[in-house]
């Protein structure tokens, strides 16, 4: 078996979480292997917190002519890894091209998008694989190495430093005397089509605050700050706290681990919550609930069935009916069920 394994890791946070079982399965089957992951964006923070990974190479694309220099420098770092095998987890052509340039003699990935000639082991994406959970989809890439691992839940441990930082960030809510915390993630990096309207998140927060003694923490990346800020101001209650853009990925994991549940669109934070054992109320519209739901049994998936869903579009060309058909009261009922809170009549 190859001793040095290079993974081309997904850049999207949710996909990175769903790749954790692949790293763990390789480590169990080949404990002597040295595992390196190439990562960029927030996913790099996540990979650094996965014990099955020995080394993370961070690539940050630059602008203009510096982009070429940054890419050449990254390829030089990959060559120094001297990987025996490169496993391409993303579906892009560029990731397979990078694996090819890494000089790894064996390169494993899916053959779609014209990538077959760049790979030594080009696997076919069968209809069964394409409709299965992304955890299984990525685990299948280990089969050319003789590793046929069953799907398992992604697990993420919260570092002690991140837990302390989360405690500090949540202090304004805890000072309000709330008995617990509900996390909301109203943003979505992929596009507005899969965002439940921010007005409904605000209404849900008002309903939840009236129903029990939970506070609400709004989470997300820097790009989610505007929508979180608007939700926070629309509610106008000090028991609603905006933490968007203030956490690293391990700190986000720590905040979610402290939460009773997470209400979210189909985003990376949804998978982070599931990986730290926090129940999720996931609102699905244009994306496929078969392939990217939170892994596990403790979660609630809410959908409004319409003929055009799942369409997988970034922007809705009509009226976002798949999301607008989900009312705040329906989401509230799922939240109260997960939290074990009895609503009061007001």
**pLDDT tens string 133-188:** 999 999 999 999 999 999 999 999 999 999 999 999 999 999 999 999 999 999 87
Return the CATH number of 4-145, one of 3.40.50.150, 3.40.50.2300, 3.40.50.2000, 3.40.930.10.
3.40.50.2000
Looking from the CA of 328 toward its CB, the CA atoms found within 13 Å total 14
Q: What φ, ψ does residue 137 adopt, rounded to 5°?
A: -55, -45
As given in the structure block, the two tokens for residue 52 are: 């099955």
User: Is the CB of residue 230 less than 8 Å from the CB of residue 207?
Assistant: no
**Tens-digit pLDDT profile for residues 95-145:** 999 999 999 999 999 999 999 999 999 999 999 999 999 999 999 999 999
Provide the CA 45 distance to its chain's centre, in angstroms: 12
CA pair distance 286, 184, nearest whole angstrom: 19
Hey, where are the domains in the chain? Answer: 4-145, 160-339
Same fold across 4-145 and 160-339? yes
> 160-339 architecture in CATH?
3-Layer(aba) Sandwich (3.40)
**Tens-digit pLDDT profile for residues 57-69:** 999 888 888 889 9
What is the pTM (predicted TM-score) of this model?
Answer: 0.94
Q: Is the pLDDT of residue 345 over 90?
A: no
In which band, very low, low, confident or very high, does the pLDDT at 191 lie, cut at 50, 70 and 90? confident
* Percent share of the chain, pLDDT over 90: 83
């Amino acid at each position: 078996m190859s001793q040095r394994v290079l993974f081309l890791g997904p850049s999207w946070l949710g996909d990175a979480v769903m790749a954790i079982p692949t790293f763990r399965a390789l480590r169990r089957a080949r404990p002597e292997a040295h595992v390196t992951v190439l990562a960029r964006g927030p996913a790099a923070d996540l990979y650094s917190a996965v014990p099955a990974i020995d080394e993370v190479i961070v690539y940050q694309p630059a602008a203009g002519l510096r982009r070429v220099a940054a890419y050449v420098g990254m390829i030089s770092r990959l060559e120094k890894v001297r990987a025996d095998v490169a496993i391409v987890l993303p579906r892009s052509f560029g990731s397979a091209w990078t694996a090819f340039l890494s000089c790894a003699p064996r390169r494993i990935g899916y053959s779609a998008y014209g990538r077959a000639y760049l790979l030594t082991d080009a696997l076919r994406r069968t209809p069964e694989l394409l409709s299965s959970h992304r955890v299984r989809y990525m685990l299948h890439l280990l089969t050319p190495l003789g590793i046929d691992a069953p799907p398992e839940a992604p697990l993420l441990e919260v570092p002690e430093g991140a837990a302390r930082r989360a405690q500090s960030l949540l202090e304004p809510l805890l000072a309000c005397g709330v008995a617990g915390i509900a996390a909301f993630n109203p943003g979505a990096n992929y596009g507005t089509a899969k965002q439940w309207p921010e007005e409904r998140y605000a209404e849900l927060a008002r309903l939840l605050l009236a129903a029990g003694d939970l506070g609400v923490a709004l989470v997300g990346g820097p790009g989610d700050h505007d929508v979180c800020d608007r939700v926070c101001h629309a509610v106008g209650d000090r028991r609603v706290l905006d933490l968007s853009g203030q956490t690293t990925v391990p700190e986000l994991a720590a905040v979610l681990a402290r939460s009773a549940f997470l209400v979210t669109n189909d985003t990376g934070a949804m998978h982070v919550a599931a990986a730290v054992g926090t129940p999720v109320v996931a609102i699905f519209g244009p994306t496929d609930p078969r392939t990217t739901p939170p892994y596990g049994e403790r979660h609630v998936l809410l959908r409004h069935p319409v003929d055009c869903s799942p369409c997988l579009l970034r922007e809705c060309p009509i009226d976002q009916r798949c999301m607008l058909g989900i009312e705040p009261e329906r989401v509230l009922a799922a939240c109260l069920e997960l939290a074990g809170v009895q609503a009061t009549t007001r």
